[in-house]
A and B are shown apart, each in its own frame.
Chain A
Amino acid sequence: MVNMIIDGKNVSAPKGSMLLEAIRGAGISVPTLCAHEAVSRSGACRLCVVEIKKGNRTRIVTSCLYGVEEGLTVNTKSDRVLNVRRLVMELLLARCPESDLLQKMAKDMAVEPQARYAVDTDKGKCILCRSCVRVCEEVVGVSAIGLFSRGSYKEVGTPYNEKSDVCIGCGACVYVCPTGHIEMTSTGDKRKIWGRTFKMQACEKCGKFFAPVDQLKFISKKTGVPFKELTTCTECR
């Protein structure tokens, strides 16, 4: 175990864990947007920043990726920290004015939209947290979507904005997206996502459409389990 002082409190944390878990474990809240339990840490949103002190050197770091250290002093609400969080929220509010989640978070953090920033109308609700890209790469393993271009032109999608041959329509990206930016529509036996229409498999037992045929084929190929053994939905198993 490692001993630290967080917001004046003595806190112990397991070696090798991150500050974020230690802070939350101590009952102190830290806002996050790009951290998701299903995928590796991104460090992209910068909301979880804290001010740390080692010796007489202070630094602003993201708690999601900074490992716990013996003797560290952590301040989760210093002026510098609050300034960064406020800026991040103001910038995201201007980028995605339609996002309910961002508006709620801003309210909880007592942050108002910055009038000096003209709001974007072409970014949808995407905050570029990259959880979708990570889940497709790390969990599903097909990397159907990616992050293209750079800087403020950066956007998430499929190559050439065309239908992806490798997408299996599983919708994992939709589940991990914090703002609900990714569109997935289901009508009858069809599911549409990332510009491609997938035929859905009906459950053998209850008849409900529960997963795309392509996804089941993919699982079958990956695990060696024959396709016909995968045609029952999770509830009926």
Chain B
Amino acid sequence: MNENPDIQAHQLLDNLSLYYGPKKKFVAICAGTGCRASGSLKVKEALEAELKKQNMNEVDVLATGCLGFCEKGPMVIVHPDKYFYQHVKVEDVPEIVSKTVAKGEIISRLVYRHPETQKTLYREEDLPFYKKQNRIVFGQNGMLDPSKIEAYFNIDGYQALAKVLSEMTPEDVINEVKKAGLRGRGGGGFPAAVKWEGVRRAHGEPKYVIANGDEGDPGAYMDRSLMEGNPHSVIEGMIIGAYAVGSNQGYIYVRNEYPLAVTHLTIALEAARQNGLLGKNILGTNFSFDIHINKGAGAFVCGESSALFASIEGRAGEPRAKYVHAVEKGLYDKPTVLNNVETWANVPLIINKGADWYASIGTEGSKGTKIFSLVGKINNTGLIEVPMGTTLYEIIYDMGGGIPNGRKFKAVQTGGPSGGCIPERLLDIPVDFDKLYEVGSMMGSGGMIVMDETSCMVDVARYFLEFLKEESCGKCVPCREGIRRMSDILEDICSGRGREGDIEILESMGAAIADGSLCALGGSAPNPVLSTIRYFREEYEAHIKEHRCPAGVCKALITYGIDAEKCTGCGVCVKVCATQAITGEKKKAHVIDKDKCTRCGACIQSCKFDAIKVK
């Protein structure tokens, strides 16, 4: 198979990792897309300049990928003590360098404060957000500059590949992944090893290995953060997978909306090639494999496997109607492994630490961890990684910090547009592949959108259907026509034109669309509607029978009014109103003309006295 790959592989990596290692004292700053949008790059530049100014050239600044606690960005973590600073501004930098980096002193105004106990917690691992997590995959981001392969070597990167090429046969690899119980992290939850075995056994050359980075579920950005923050973990996983199934050509399909991920993946692929880890004769063996990046072009349906293949083949992203598995006939009708980005990132870990270790985490049917995005009406917005089996309650309250502004939890939407809404009484559900199906939802790719009493569940259903209507490829009748008609009915209900019998029509249509659609987009499209009807029927009925929106969201069913006792007559609302609906004298209570008011919300946002009410 290979001549001394043992020595070649390990020596190569040992030599390389002597080059670089973050010096014991370093400052990590999150430079993921989210924190960049909050100005973290300017903070990074300020840190570099200040360290130079204060003659501390031995201290590195490590611009990492996403660190997960997105709510608190820009984030700075001072190593080796791992002091965690949040909402860091450029003005804070001189003090951080002179006090914390130089002397280990804490700056209390930058430190996390527990919202209830008011206790200050300054070590990353003590924060309630991080405490219950098990960040075996995502935690690596904190130690990496994603544009430097040396940083990846430093945390034992590519050791798994070296082990595979020098000690294991392809069958060994498949068996290890099978023992680990790795299931796909993209939403399907299919056992990865079974897929790989299918491709290994299938007839047809060449065979392909693909990473699905099309993460289309709105509100889910785990894959983006992995591709941006630790691209090599995905690449290493794919090379190992390619070896296991006998493939020499791979693809990473990345959403068009993730430019930083594309950049970091491109840099990583080139670095891997230059180090003999990709391309011909990897690590001196006779195994060759390379990866090409394909960018999406704005089609959610391309996350579906056969639509993804069509896109790589240069065509419109329409799913295939034929009943043949991708493992037999996938890309270009050849045997293909398509796995999600997060699935691939788990592979090097399984090889390095062993299947038994991996299988010790999680539940009986769902092994390992899962990265979730926790967004919406939640205090601690961000990405969390927890063992399978963690309950929704723990995620939302222990890690998520509960609902902001003293509001009450109403529902959590999981699984994206294919999933459903889960009400409060079911929060004790352990999150894994199987349990969420039972209550009418699914884990999907990991998006969790939290809602409070100001979210209208009928509006949520309407929102998802409108999304799916725009994203439907249009090939089959049930999806193209059916979703459009369901969407029209929901639009009617939200606008006060709902009719008796609409709920029953939606339920009947939902069943037929689920059964009749060509692919999973149409097949799961009715889920948000059916699950909100199941748990929040009273809201639908209020909209239809009473023309009332209990949550105060649906514009046609609410009115805005000014509380005369709170209004100071400051006139700020008059200036922002686009339809001149507000009138009043200076310093006297103002009035809204209900006929002119479009309920756009501008006045509510600008009123400092909370004087404008929704009725």
Contacts and interface: CB of A to CB of B under 8 A. Distances in A.
Interface of A: 41-46, 49, 60-62, 65-67, 80, 83-84, 86-88, 91-92, 94-95, 114, 116-118, 127-128, 130, 147, 149-154
A43 B322 contact: yes
Contact of B488 (A80, A118, A147): A118
17 contacts: A41-B321, A43-B518, A44-B475, A45-B477, A46-B476, A46-B518, A84-B516, A92-B481, A94-B485, A95-B481, A114-B505, A128-B474, A130-B475, A147-B316, A147-B474, A150-B472, A154-B480
B316 A44 contact: no
A98 B480 CA distance: 19
Contacts of B321: 41-44, 62, 65
Contacts, number: 103
A22 to B, nearest CB: 15
B299 interface: yes
A117 B489 CA distance: 9
A66 B324 CA distance: 9
A153 B323 contact: no
Contacts of B474: 128, 147, 149-154
A86 B478 CA distance: 11
A127 B477 CA distance: 8
A138 to B, nearest CB: 15
Nearest to A149: B474
A60 B316 CA distance: 26
B512 interface: yes
Given A91-B485, A150-B316, A150-B472, A49 B477 contact: no
Q: Report the contact-size class of chain B (Cβ under 8 Å from the partner).
A: 35 or more
A86 B299 CA distance: 30
A53 B473 CA distance: 29
A83 B511 contact: yes
Contacts of A94: 481, 485
A65 B322 CA distance: 6
Nearest to A79: B511
Contacts of A46: 476-478, 516-518
Contacts of A65: 321-323
A152 B469 contact: yes
Contact of A44 (B472, B508, B518): B518
B48 to A, nearest CB: 47
B516 A61 contact: no
A168 B484 CA distance: 36
A151 B472 contact: yes
Interface string B482-508: 101100110000000001011001001
Nearest to B468: A151
A128 B484 CA distance: 15
Minimum-distance CB pairs A-B, first 3: A43-B321, A154-B474, A91-B481
Contacts of A150: 299, 301, 316, 471-474
Contacts of B509: 87
A116 B489 contact: yes
Contact of B478 (A80, A91, A114, A152): A91
B481 A83 contact: no
Interface in B453-485: 469-478, 480-482, 484-485
A11 B509 CA distance: 33
Interface in B365-406: none
A153 B480 CA distance: 9
B67 interface: no
Contacts of B511: 80, 83
B513 interface: yes
Contacts of A88: 477-478, 516
A87 B489 contact: no
B484 A152 contact: yes
Given A83-B508, A151-B471, A60 B516 contact: yes
A31 to B, nearest CB: 12
B515 interface: yes
Contacts of A147: 316, 474
Contact of A151 (B322, B473, B502, B517): B473
B367 to A, nearest CB: 24
Contacts of A44: 321, 475-477, 518
A50 to B, nearest CB: 11
A128 B299 CA distance: 20
Nearest to A123: B481
Given A151-B480, A152-B469, A154-B480, A116 B505 contact: yes
Contacts of B513: 87
B472 A60 contact: no
Nearest to B471: A151
Contacts of B322: 43, 65
A84 B478 contact: yes
Contacts of B516: 46, 49, 60, 84, 87-88
B469 A151 contact: yes
Residue among A41, A46, A94, A147 with the most chain B CB within 10 A?
A46
B476 A61 contact: no
A49 B517 CA distance: 10
